[in-house]
Amino acid sequence: MQTLFINIKELLQVREEHIDKVAGSDMSILPKIDNAFLLIENNLIADFGSMENCPILPNANIIDATGRVILPTWVDSHTHIVYAGNRIQEFVDRINGLTYEEIANRGGGILNSSKKLNETSEEEIYEQSKVRLEEIMQQGTGALEIKSGYGLTVEGELKMLRVIKRLKENYPIAIKATFLGAHAFPLTYKENHSAYIDLIINEMLPKIASENLADYIDAFLETGYFSVEETIKIMEAGKKYGLEPKIHVNQFTAIDGIKACVENGALSVDHLEIVTDEDIEVLKNSKTMPVALPSCSYFISIPYTPARRMLNAGLPLALATDYNPGTTPSGNMNFVVATACIKMKMTPEEAINAATINGAYAMGISNTHGSITKGKKANILLTQPLTSYYQLPYSFGTNLIDKVIIEGKFI
């Protein structure tokens, strides 16, 4: 089956040659073809170019994209969409003046979600999570990473990862699973950190590995959560089972966590609302992708990742949602891209690069996703008629996506 899009106003993120990621000043370059065609065949991108070179294919399904923009689907490399219930009361508590830390200290936050998750059946968690997944697919996300981390018990973590596996099996979207047992210390282990870390390393990890339930390992490396030394121990243990680190770090404080992550081969370091000059130097020439989560900053009113400083220093940057019940109850990547432009002063070119090709790198799937390249998955967005693609972040409250195609199929 061939699908041929013709008369595309702007075809974005076209890459003749495969690249893993873009960094620094290169992020301001978004390759595009005006008045373009795009051919999809067997769920892959088969060909593209300007309309003057468009092939004649009488048996293809032809779609006239006059006035419309086509770009790769969003790649969301950091989510927690598998969870039970919600944390609406905490939303109101923050409005009434309580901080994230104060809510956590009185049993809210991650421990609140953990309690709900352990009280909810695996089937019900799956049913709740698939609704969220279907919504973000409609909003243009064509690949995402999903973390565990609300179980904080052997069975709870396994339950979450099994739900993620089931979502992966039942939906066409590319999904990577990350084991985040080190999300918070359960109350039982609040005064005995080493015992909980032993539980993660000696009980959770072997069972997760035996069922092949995770691709990556994560920890909340932050003051009051997991220390640098504790996180290093968890990263080292994960790597023994083939789980590459993707770490939460520098959300509230900078405690040399980024240095530890880079030294331990982390694929990504995520949050980075607080970034020091030393952190930037450590990230230079590393394989580690910095990931910003601007809708988290928006929702809980904390600083935004200093994108301009990082890009001016030559670093790459990816964008993701952090979709979770407490600090970012939204998986809308369109809003993330717009917020990065509005609040982080990223250009539309930089933001789209960050949400596509660099997001794919942060998920370990840049060979198959993140750009319009021959042989990559046919994961694309077709917009409504637009003045230009700049309208995507400009009209931040409007749904400008007309159709979503994932693996060559209309969603």
pLDDT digits (tens, 9 = 90+) for 207-216: 999 999 999 9
Whether residue 1 is predicted with pLDDT greater than 90 in this model: the reply is: no
What integer pLDDT is reported at residue 111 of this predicted model?
87
Greater confidence, 89 or 333?
A: 333
Q: What is the mean pLDDT of residues 313-330?
A: 97
CA pair distance 195, 200, nearest whole angstrom: 9
Whether residue 240 is predicted with pLDDT greater than 90 in this model: the reply is: yes
3-state DSSP helix/strand/coil percent for the chain, to nearest 5? Answer: 40, 25, 40
Burial class (CB in 10 A: 0-12, 13-18, 19+), 74: buried
pLDDT digits (tens, 9 = 90+) for 374-407: 999 999 999 999 999 999 999 999 999 999 999 9
User: Which residues 6+ apart lie within 8 Å of 25 measured at CB?
Assistant: 311, 314
Whether residue 146 is predicted with pLDDT greater than 90 in this model: the reply is: yes
Choose the weakest-confidence range: 74-88, 99-113, 139-153.
99-113
What integer pLDDT is reported at residue 374 of this predicted model?
97
Which position has the token pair 């790769």?
72
Q: What is the mean pLDDT of residues 269-276?
A: 97
CA pair distance 304, 290, nearest whole angstrom: 13
Whether residue 91 is predicted with pLDDT greater than 80 in this model: the reply is: yes
Whether residue 201 is predicted with pLDDT greater than 80 in this model: the reply is: yes
What integer pLDDT is reported at residue 165 of this predicted model?
98
Binned at pLDDT 50, 70 and 90, residue 203 comes out as very high
CA pair distance 86, 78, nearest whole angstrom: 19
Q: What is the mean pLDDT of residues 200-229?
A: 97
Three-class secondary structure of residue 42 per DSSP: coil
pLDDT digits (tens, 9 = 90+) for 43-79: 999 999 999 999 999 899 999 999 999 999 999 999 9
Q: Are 254 and 226 in contact (CB under 8 A)?
A: no
What integer pLDDT is reported at residue 199 of this predicted model?
98
Q: What is the mean pLDDT of residues 309-327?
A: 97
Choose the weakest-confidence range: 60-74, 97-111, 223-237, 272-286.
97-111
**Bridge partners (DSSP) listed for residue 248:** 220, 270
Mean pLDDT of all residues belonging to the chain: 96
Whether residue 107 is predicted with pLDDT greater than 80 in this model: the reply is: no
Binned at pLDDT 50, 70 and 90, residue 285 comes out as confident
pLDDT digits (tens, 9 = 90+) for 11-34: 999 999 989 999 999 999 999 999
What integer pLDDT is reported at residue 256 of this predicted model?
93
What integer pLDDT is reported at residue 48 of this predicted model?
98
CA pair distance 266, 244, nearest whole angstrom: 6
Query: What pTM does this model have?
Result: 0.96
**Bridge partners (DSSP) listed for residue 175:** 144
What integer pLDDT is reported at residue 251 of this predicted model?
94
What integer pLDDT is reported at residue 139 of this predicted model?
97
CA pair distance 163, 69, nearest whole angstrom: 35
